[in-house]
């Protein structure tokens, strides 16, 4: 029976006759759905947020990586549709889970979205389906949670249905790579599941990288993000040490990166943001406790990066005191950039939100300007900031602030005009020096 089920599904995938379901139409799910549809599959997107369905029905993309034209092309071709009705999963031959995997307030993994989604799939599971998890998680999640929930139906992985894992590798704002051109790591529960994973993703992306197990693929994703977290923490720590010595860490990095081997540049900032690096490393630290093994590097990196917003506000307060003779508690500060990285609208885990919170905890007043984020949406941790709107960046408005704190160096900002109008600038991104706009009132932090 296993061979027959496998052969039938493989043929459907190879002939593009398989219908694909993508659960979760966010930063990962929607670009993936459109890439898969563009490769010739019929795709149904599933999401519990009706506002997303309204936008998609109007052929309006809410994700920068998917243009309105690309979305409309797949809808008009009949290759993409979206729904909130999960009963449609029964008609899907390949089902891909792209739901959030956040942390609890105690920094433990929150797999409630993965578990709830797996239970929804189980209600409609049938023989001849491939179920794939793409959400970042700790090694063992696919086999120990997703597979177990699905096998609770009485159907068996590797015989009746197949299970795989392929970590998402989206990079919002990256102009050089997109979903179809980023190499895709794939794994499966058994050789047949892996063969199906290779066939399916090989049809949609340019390069497939198979690994031996789902746990290995889960570890690949964590390793990629832990690597970045640890190295960013290193340069953040060097920034504080070198600043105390009167040394510019950015100048150090620029010189160090001229070495053609043995060095890779990473850059400091006001803290970590985004959907991966601030969260994913803690999935491994949590899982490692099961094996009674310490993860000192990972946890220390998290501590250093988490401390950066408070360090930056400390530098802001110091500069206000020395250069303006004014306490932070009596100052108005404009935070430039709410998104966690330049040229995107993504504010997930953005350190700018924490910067605003700390400034106001210390009695100051903080506004923000961001050309990509008109209003602060609801967030789990910063409910008090909901509804605040981006301030205009006119010379008169800038001059009314005691300081401008550059948290995100968006390209759409006129930094020369900002330098002329601002009384004091705290630059956490070295943008003014990069643009040749260094001045006495621009302080690096």
Q: Which residues are catalytic?
A: 276
Pairing of strands 42-46, 332-336: unpaired
The answer to whether 97 and 135 have CB atoms below 8 angstroms apart is yes
The crossing angle, in degrees rounded to 10, of helices 2-14 and 191-204 is 10
3-state SS, residue 248: coil
Q: Which two tokens stand for residue 393?
A: 């960046």
Measured between alpha carbons, how far is 59 from 121 in angstroms, rounded to an integer? Answer: 27
Tell the residue number behind the tokens 């599904």, with chain if given: 9
| DSSP, residue by residue, 371-423 | TT-SBPPP-SS-GGGTT-BPPP--HHHHHTSSEEEE-S--TTS-HHHHHHH-S
DSSP 159: T
- Please give the radius of gyration of the chain, using alpha carbons only, rounded to the nearest integer: 24
3-state SS, residue 164: strand
Exposure string over 65-94, b if 16+ CB within 10 A, otherwise e? bbeeebbebbbeeebbbbeeebebbeebbb
Contacts of 106 (CB under 8 A, 6+ apart): none
Mark out the alpha helices in 91-248 (DSSP H runs). 112-124, 141, 147-151, 191-204, 214-244
How big, in percent rounded to 5, are the helix, strand and coil portions of the chain?
45, 15, 40
The crossing angle, in degrees rounded to 10, of helices 214-244 and 296-319 is 40
The answer to whether 162 and 194 have CB atoms below 8 angstroms apart is no
What sign for the dihedral angle of Cα 105, 108, 110, 115? Answer: negative
């Amino acid at each position: 029976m296993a061979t027959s089920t496998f052969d039938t599904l493989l043929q459907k995938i190879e002939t593009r006759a398989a219908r694909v379901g993508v659960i979760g139409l966010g930063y990962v799910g929607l670009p993936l759905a459109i890439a898969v549809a563009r490769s010739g599959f019929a795709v149904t997107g599933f999401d519990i947020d009706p506002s997303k369905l309204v936008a998609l029905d109007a052929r309006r993309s809410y994700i920068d990586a998917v243009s309105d034209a690309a979305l409309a092309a797949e809808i008009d071709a009949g290759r993409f549709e979206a729904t909130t009705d999960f009963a449609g999963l029964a008609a899907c031959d390949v089902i891909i889970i792209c739901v959030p995997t956040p942390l609890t307030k105690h920094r433990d993994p929150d797999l409630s979205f993965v578990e709830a989604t797996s239970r929804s799939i189980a209600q409609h599971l049938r023989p001849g389906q491939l179920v794939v998890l793409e959400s970042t998680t700790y090694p063992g999640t696919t086999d120990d949670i997703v597979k177990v929930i699905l096998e609770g139906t009485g159907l068996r992985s590797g015989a009746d249905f197949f299970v795989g894992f392929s970590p998402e590798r989206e990079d919002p704002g990256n102009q050089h790579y997109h979903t179809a051109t980023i190499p895709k790591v794939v794994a499966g529960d058994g050789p047949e599941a892996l063969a199906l994973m290779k066939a399916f993703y090989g049809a949609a992306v340019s390069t497939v990288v198979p690994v031996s197990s789902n746990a290995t693929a889960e570890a690949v994703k964590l390793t990629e993000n832990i690597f970045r977290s640890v190295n960013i923490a290193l340069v953040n720590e060097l920034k504080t040490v070198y600043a105390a010595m009167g040394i510019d860490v950015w100048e150090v990095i620029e010189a160090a990166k001229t070495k053609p081997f043995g060095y890779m540049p990473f850059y400091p900032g006001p803290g970590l943001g985004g959907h991966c690096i601030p969260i994913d490393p803690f999935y491994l630290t949590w899982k490692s406790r099961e094996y009674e093994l310490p993860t000192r590097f990972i946890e220390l990196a998290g501590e250093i990066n988490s401390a950066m917003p408070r360090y930056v506000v400390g530098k802001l307060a110091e500069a206000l005191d020395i250069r303006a003779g004014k306490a932070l508690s009596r100052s108005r500060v404009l935070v430039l950039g709410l998104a966690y990285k330049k040229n995107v609208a993504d504010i997930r885990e953005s350190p700018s939100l924490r910067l605003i919170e700390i400034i106001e905890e210390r009695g100051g007043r903080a506004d923000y300007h961001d050309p990509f984020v008109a209003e602060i949406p609801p967030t789990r941790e910063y409910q008090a900031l909901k509804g605040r709107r981006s301030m205009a960046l006119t010379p008169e408005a800038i001059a009314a602030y005691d300081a401008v704190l550059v948290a995100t160096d968006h390209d759409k900002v006129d930094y020369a005009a900002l330098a002329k109008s601002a009384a004091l600038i705290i630059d956490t991104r070295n943008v003014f020096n990069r643009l040749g706009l260094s001045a006495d009132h621009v302080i690096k932090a």
